[in-house]
A and B are shown apart, each in its own frame.
Chain A
Amino acid sequence: MGLESPFIPYLANLKTATRLTPDIKLLSVELEDPDIRASFDYKPGQFALLSTFGEGEAPFGIVSLPLQKDGLEFAVRRIGTVTRALHELEPGDILGVRGPFGNYFPLEDYMGKSIIIIGGGIGMAPLRPVINRILERRDDYEELVIINGARTPQDLVFQPEFSTWMEAPRTRLELTVDRGDEHWKGRVALVPDVVKELAPSPDNAVAIICGPPIMIRFTLTGLRNLGFKDNQIVTTLEAKMKCGLGKCARCNIGEKYVCQDGPVFTLEQISQFLEQP
């Protein structure tokens, strides 16, 4: 029984760890084995299970784009045992990567449409590769509206990329925070209110939303009031995961396995789940 057990991760080492917010770090990871690195293909929306040997594994969306020079990137919020260990890794340290798992955002189907991207806090992480892929092929898409919310200004994620997003053609970046501070000059409002205010048109548009459940619930009503149908609204579900292989049933919601049938679902699909997440 050789190494082909799907539970054994690929070895990788940490190249860089940049702090994005007080509790979120952007980890750039390079797979050790060159053949695996070359064949490790994925699409925006897919995730991997990262291992720190001694704690365990946890699922993280892959936030880089494939064949990007600085390897696989993950935005990790420090919240449990594995994330604490990931935050303590130094460049050069060894970790494990299993994946890529799950389905992905069907960006090819969205060509020729306007894209509204709504992210709350760490919810921006799985949306980043979507934004960067759209900017890579900007002409294939109509309007691009990005609404990025967070609790406080320093909790806004991916700040180094705001300027590139803002200057991209036919692209609009709206930042908002729940609570400002003395030198925050931007918007202070909840994400659902910003959506209501910007009132993006549902015609030939797709909304991709990811964030804390409360934000999603209120933003959904806003989008539906604006005329968005459930098959025009897409999200990526957060669930407890252990194997990523559709075996341990931890992410089993209704008849779906989030690790294999998801994590990306349209609202229409989710509304047909027997069990509501």
Chain B
Amino acid sequence: MNLFVSEDALIRWLDALLQERIVIAPVRVQGQTMFQPISKADSCQLSAVSNTTLSPKGWFLPPTETLFSVQRDDGQVELVPALVEQDAVLFGLHPCDAKGIALMDKPFLQEPGDALYRERRSRTALVGLACLQVQPECFCTSMGSAPDDPSNVDILLTEVEDGYIVQVVTEKGKSLLPQGLAEYKGKVPTPPKLPAVPTKEVISAMRELFNDPYWEQLADRCLHCNICAYVCPTCYCFDMRDYADKGKVERVRSWESCQSPGFSLTAGGYDPRTTKGERLRQRFYHKLLYFPEQFQDVACVGCGRCVRACPVNIDIREVISDLQQVTEAKSGS
């Protein structure tokens, strides 16, 4: 049963949420939109068209966080785990980002689960916003999501005339709702169409393409920076190190990417991936082959962020269609 919330009611709702929760929402920062905690309702810039520069994964796997700190007093050592202090609500994320979070749940909640991640997930409600228009590089429908897919959020909003349709999906969502929302009887906007990207056929062929020179050639123009991994909602590799600062020791976890030079380099000097081609290939194989084999789902939600952000235009849709041509050429079909 769909409800309706007007523009003003939404502002009041956000203010109410701000009283008891951290609210993370899209905010305008230097000409870009970023997910950030907001202090007042009107800094929230809901947009049913474009995506934020960075995905909202940063709330569940922050760029940097302390896992635990080491308390030392007279020889005694105590490990104090980081705690999640407050409930939160992630407001205004599109269905592709919500799917990204659901995909990241698979490795992080798989036993033995990451307690910090699990705590944040359980104490954060997801209020999604359906897409009315899509950007040219979106291809979520080819990756098992859709502009109006409510499956990974607690509430899904859809923008209509002076307000939003409120589709309650979970109990957690229901508990968030303001009182007295009227039922929405109007027309639900039809989701926009998206171009299809032939992922299924390509994934089955990827085993044979591992040693194809395509990867070395594609990597020629790659800069090997970490942009694609850091903007991506489903890249979750991380690094861990200790910080000893004036007697206080903390174990810190930070984002890392398989494109970084030391990613797979061992202290003894052994590194299975030293060339540019090998590292670029690892990113596509982890997303399109290894993750699906481990978790039965492709680690790409078709949000198009890597396509927009890559300085040298390594476009995952083009890679997938190139792979299809390479397979056809190989099998002579």
Residues of A within 8 A of B (CB): 1-9, 11, 51-58, 77, 79-80, 82-83, 94, 96, 213, 238-240, 242-243, 245-255, 274-277
Contacts and interface: CB of A to CB of B under 8 A. Distances in A.
Interface in B61-78: 67-68, 70, 72, 75, 77
A242 B238 contact: yes
Interface of B: 67-68, 70, 72, 75, 77, 79, 81, 83-84, 107-108, 110, 112-116, 118-119, 207, 210, 236-242, 244, 249, 251, 253, 256, 258, 263-268, 270-273, 278, 282, 285-286, 289-290, 293-294
Contacts, number: 131
Nearest to B84: A1
Contacts of A3: 79, 81
Contacts of A58: 267
A243 B240 contact: yes
Q: Which of B84, B249, B290 has the most CB of A within 10 A?
A: B290
B79 A240 contact: no
Contact of A11 (B79, B84, B240, B289): B79
Contacts of A96: 79
Nearest to B278: A275
A240 B264 contact: yes
A53 B238 CA distance: 19
A246 B107 contact: yes
A51 B250 CA distance: 12
9 contacts: A1-B83, A82-B267, A240-B264, A240-B266, A240-B271, A248-B256, A255-B289, A275-B278, A275-B285
Contacts of B75: 94
Contacts of B253: 7
Contact of A79 (B72, B79, B251, B267): B267
B67 A53 contact: no
B113 A6 contact: yes
Contact of B266 (A239, A246, A255): A239
Contacts of A8: 67-68, 79, 81
Contacts of A276: 272
B242 A54 contact: yes
B50 to A, nearest CB: 30
Contacts of A56: 240-242, 251
Nearest to A247: B107
A255 B210 CA distance: 12
A2 B242 contact: no
Given A5-B81, A56-B240, A242-B238, A275 B289 contact: no
A57 B249 CA distance: 13
